[in-house]
Structure 1
Amino acid sequence: MELLLVEDNRRISEFVVKGLEESGFAVILAENGVDARRAISEKSWDLILLDIMLPDIDGIELLQYTRYKKINTPILIMSALGEPDDKVKALNLGADDYLAKPFHFNELVARINALLRRSKNVDFAENILHCNDLVLHVDKHMVERGGREIKLTLQEFMLLKLLMENKNKIMSRTQILNTVWGINYNSNTNVVDVYISYLRNKIEIEGSEKLIETIKGRGYLIRTKE
């Protein structure tokens, strides 16, 4: 497993690199945004560990750049910015997880392993899911609506896949959180609502029928006429 660590604090980067290498990961360090952008564009990574406060191109810009380039590599934000608004912003822009500094190293490894497991499991079954004119190709990790391809991040893809596998069935926030983000994820987070909004913005294009419904006090469902 090759990980890209983007971190300008030498003390933190040495600690993280040493620990991850001892845990069996191959880690490449980028100490600034320019080097990180080059590494992201030139090579495929299993996972990106991304700091926000960098000396030139900040982590948010790198996150936006990565998703703009249609690179769906799982991204784990590691930042001293731990306010809810900081987390929501990063998740809304396509981050897959957010870990506030300081953190326990064991938690970092657990979150990395969880993201890597989920990225592997995306291609688990070779089938196609339909919901009206929305089509999800599980084996190809591809989504189309009305014949137009829609680019999704890993978490968006898994969320949509869960809803489409349970068409016309209400999925509670807890069910979604446990399935997509893992049973040990912080249950007080609003990450489900954030990603539902993010998903709607991508699949509910202008002039198309709205598919994802909010069932007040219960959760979400994707409705089909089929």
Structure 2
Amino acid sequence: MNKTTIILAEDEPALGQIIKESLETRNFDVLLCENGEKAFEVYKAESPELLVLDVMMPKKDGFTLAKDIRAIDDTIPIIFLTAKSQTQDVVEGFTIGGNDYLKKPFSMEELIVRINNLLNRTKLQKTSDILKIGNFTFNFPKQLLQYNNEDAVQLTHREAHLLFHLIKNKNQVLDRSLILNKLWGSDDFFNARSMDVFITKLRKKLIKDETIQIINVRGFGYKLIC
């Protein structure tokens, strides 16, 4: 069985080794890096399928590293590990391209579940879905949104997956808790705030077609109307 390669960037040696050994017992190949600069070098030299990044690291912090990687790769899944729990920190992590956010301390079982969920979503992304919504064409695998014959707009990984589920449930309520657990890993307050930010971004990207609306169904979730 082929192993999934993961880069783990963690500057606490003991914690890094524990995570590495735990993941390796689950058939992951883990490349442990002690700082952000080293992780970026290893990323460019190897072909990892997922990144687990500590936010607070020397030389290059996790957020800066994620920005550098997203400049050249907008599809690889990224999980942030951090002791920071302020709402603005969580939102920043998702805004710059993170796919999940795990607060320390955490259980290894929870990390493994989140890793597997992201890897499964990545496989879904590689399907050949080309979706139509109003005057927009949405290329889900390439994360491109095109209005009529204009140049396509590149969506982030999370924007693309959120739009995919909204379109698949067009004119129906997309359950808030369900989609938070599916795309963010949990339906806590911080993730809910982050999803609100992404909904606002999608509304702005779809504004050219007046027949399309994403409405907030209070207490339930969101509905994409077309």
Q: Normalising by structure 2, what TM-score? A: 0.84
How many pairs align? Answer: 219
Q: In structure 2, how many angstroms separate the alpha carbons of the residues matched to 1:203 and 1:173?
A: 17
| Partner in structure 2 of residue 198 of structure 1 | 198
Aligned mates of 1:202, 1:162 — CA distance in 2: 12
**Alpha carbons of 1:33 and 1:26: their partners in 2 closer, same or farther (altered >3 Å)?**
same
In 1, are the aligned partners of 2:176 and 2:222 still within 8 Å (CA)?
yes
Q: Is the 8 A contact 2:163 2:202 kept in 1?
A: no
Inter-partner Cα distance in structure 2 for 1:197 and 1:134:
21
Query: Cα gap change, 1:202/1:171 in structure 2, threshold over 3 Å: closer, same or farther?
Result: closer
Quote how far apart the aligned CAs of 1:51 are: 0.4
1:192–1:67 Cα change, 3 Å: farther
Deviation at 1:89, TM superposition (A): 2.1
Q: Which amino acid aligns with 1:53?
A: M
Q: How many angstroms does 1:201 deviate by?
A: 2.6
Could you tell me how far apart the structure 1 residues matched to 2:121 and 2:205 are? 27
C-alpha displacement of 1:58:
0.9
CA contact (8 A) 2:91 2:193 kept: no
Query: For 1:111-130, what per-residue CA distance to the aligned partner results, in whole angstroms no more than 9, with x for missing partners?
Result: 11111112112234x33211
| C-alpha RMSD over aligned residues | 2.4
1:24 matched to which residue of 2?
27
Deviation at 1:149, TM superposition (A): 2.7
Report the Cα distance in structure 1 between the residues aligned to 2:57 and 2:100, rounded to whole angstroms: 19
Give yes or no for contact 1:6–1:36 (8 Å, CA) kept in 2.
yes
Any idea what SS the aligned residue of 2:152 has?
Answer: strand
Worse overlay, 55-64 or 81-90: 81-90
User: Does the CA-based 8 Å contact 2:9-2:53 persist in structure 1?
Assistant: yes
Contact 1:92 1:195 in 2 (8 A): no
Alpha-carbon deviation of 1:36? 1.7
Aligned to 2:139: 137
In the alignment, the residues of structure 1 paired with residue 89 and residue 118 of structure 2 have an alpha-carbon distance, to the nearest angstrom, of 20
2:48 to 31, 41, 45: 45
**1:31: how far off?**
1.3
Question: Is 1:33 aligned with 2:32?
Answer: no
1:166 aligns with 2:169: yes
Is 1:187 aligned to 2:187, yes or no?
yes
Aligned AA (1:8): D
Q: 1:199 offset after TM fit, Å?
A: 5.2
- Contact between 2:81 and 2:103, CA under 8 Å: does it hold in 1? yes
User: Does the C-alpha gap of structure 1 residues 82 and 166 become closer, same or farther in structure 2, counting only changes over 3 Å?
Assistant: same
Letter in 1 for 2:135: D
Residue identity in the other structure for 2:120 = R
User: Which residue does the alignment assign to 1:221?
Assistant: 223
Q: Determine if contact 1:32/1:55 at 8 Å carries over to the other structure.
A: yes
Paired with 2:17 and 2:47, the residues of 1 have a C-alpha distance of: 23
Correspondence 1:101 to 2:74: no
- 1:40 is displaced (CA, Å) by 3.0
Shift of 1:152: 2.9
Change (3 A) 1:83 1:197: closer
Distance 1:44 1:199 in 2: 32
What is the distance in 2 between the residues matched to 1:42 and 1:144? 31
Deviation at 1:13, TM superposition (A): 1.1
- Between the aligned partners of 1:206 and 1:69, the Cα distance in structure 2 is 25
**How far apart, CA to CA, are the structure 1 residues paired with 2:203 and 2:108?**
37
User: Structure 1 stretches of 5 or more lacking a match?
Assistant: none
Select which of 148, 152, 176 maps to 1:149.
Answer: 152
Deviation at residue 178 of structure 1 after TM alignment:
4.1
